[in-house]
A and B are shown apart, each in its own frame.
Chain A
Amino acid sequence: MKFALALLLLPFGLFAQAKPADDEINWLDNYPAALREAKATGKPIFLEYRCEP
């Protein structure tokens, strides 16, 4: 299995709003940009490190 990094960021409304049928998850792959967005929106960050097979 190959391990690779996928640094994805998710504005945290996902779990609070829980409308997967309506909402497309807007994952970000740029950490500094995610920090800026979190600061601007007041949302927390859900950050994922993933092994890509």
Chain B
Amino acid sequence: MDNVDIGLFEHDRNNTIYFYLLNADEQIYMRYGGRDARSADSYLSLDSLALAAAKGLDLHKQYQAGQLAKKPRPKEDSARNYSMLVERTFKSNACVECHLIGDFQNLHREKDGTLDKLVHLFRSPDVRTIGIELDVPKGLVVRDVSGAAKAAGMQAGDRIAKWEGDTVWTFADVQWRYDKVARTAKATRVTVERAGVFVDLTIALPVRWWWTDTRYRQSSIEPRSYFDDRALTAEEKGKLGLPLDGLASYVKYVSSMAYSVAAHDLKVGDIILSVDGKDRDEHADTASLYIILHKAPGDTGTLEVLRDGKKISMPLKTIRMSFRK
């Protein structure tokens, strides 16, 4: 990644493979790639790559004919601008692994107070959260639609043509542009092509639309607390007399690392009622998400837990996964 403008080639660094189609003037025609927690190749197919390549050639002809408007070049950036990354990799002649760039950008943001966890940790919001299932071999053709997208008028068979007014040709284009939507946004604008007609849609964004399953990028998510949980259902909360909008969660997994580093004393089956006395949050619907959003690595706190019908309190210690960085 040396001698590469990572400002121009800016993408979610936890992708396993990622392509750009561009010209000698470094005008990017499109991106190709994108993944989710299901698989590294959820959105990859040779058919859709061929479609993208054919469109790329068409755009290149337009560029050569002077018919393609130039896009402003993004601010230049280099992996060498991140001193902690330089120390970790360049100085020891180690490989500058793709995810390390994202990780160290976040470390620097954390240091200078610009880390926005909703944006920088929860990259690449999942379009399935708003009800869009793509027919992957066909590129941006919608296979199934439900939820917010259906409510906005999207239909199976539509081809997504623009996101927030920007032309998109591939799933990577969509994922990249969708990721740029402010996390405070209440809606996102999508244009679809339907039977040759372009239709503008406004999709209302549900609560936590930006949330994605981060397990496949766990080494990039800080702090670590070594347990996994799920939000209690409304019925479960009702039975326990807990607030329906609270963050009470059921502990479904505890890593042995929790005991090794004395992070906490949680057990599978525990119900976490609050963190540091907070039983609800604007963004978090579980204790683990609350900890990620509100704690820095190394922070301590207190968990209030329901175990075998009794309320107990226990200390919490969060950890930085330093060995990867």
Contacts and interface: CB of A to CB of B under 8 A. Distances in A.
Given A5-B1, A50-B17, A39 B97 contact: no
A42 to B, nearest CB: 7
B57 A4 contact: no
A45 to B, nearest CB: 5
A25 interface: no
Interface string A16-48: 100000000000000110010011001011111
A19 to B, nearest CB: 15
A15 B60 CA distance: 13
Contacts of A16: 57
Nearest to B20: A47
A31 B24 CA distance: 11
Contacts of B246: none
B232 to A, nearest CB: 34
A24 to B, nearest CB: 18
A51 B98 contact: yes
Contacts of B15: 49, 51
Given A32-B3, A49-B9, A39 B96 contact: no
Interface in B57-71: 57, 60, 64
Given A7-B4, A31-B3, A45 B22 contact: yes
Nearest to A15: B53
Nearest to B63: A44
A5 B96 contact: yes
Contacts of B96: 5
Contact of B24 (A7, A14, A38): A38
A46 B19 contact: yes
A48 B9 CA distance: 11
Contacts of A48: 17-19
A32 to B, nearest CB: 7
Given A35-B24, A46-B19, A46-B53, A4 B98 contact: yes
Contacts of A49: 9, 11, 15, 17-19, 98
Nearest to A39: B24
A49 B15 CA distance: 9
A31 B16 CA distance: 20
Nearest to B95: A4
Nearest to B1: A5
Contacts of B64: 42
A50 B18 CA distance: 6
A45 B21 contact: yes
Interface in B77-107: 95-100
The 5 closest A-B pairs by CB, nearest first: A38-B24, A15-B53, A39-B24, A3-B97, A51-B16
30 contacts: A2-B95, A2-B97, A3-B100, A4-B95, A4-B97, A4-B98, A5-B97, A7-B1, A16-B57, A32-B3, A39-B24, A42-B64, A44-B21, A44-B23, A44-B57, A44-B60, A45-B20, A45-B21, A45-B22, A46-B19, A46-B56, A47-B22, A48-B19, A49-B9, A49-B98, A50-B17, A51-B15, A51-B16, A51-B17, A51-B98
Given A46-B21, A49-B11, A51-B15, 15 more contacts: A1-B16, A2-B95, A2-B97, A3-B13, A4-B95, A5-B1, A12-B57, A16-B57, A38-B23, A42-B24, A47-B19, A48-B18, A48-B19, A49-B15, A51-B17
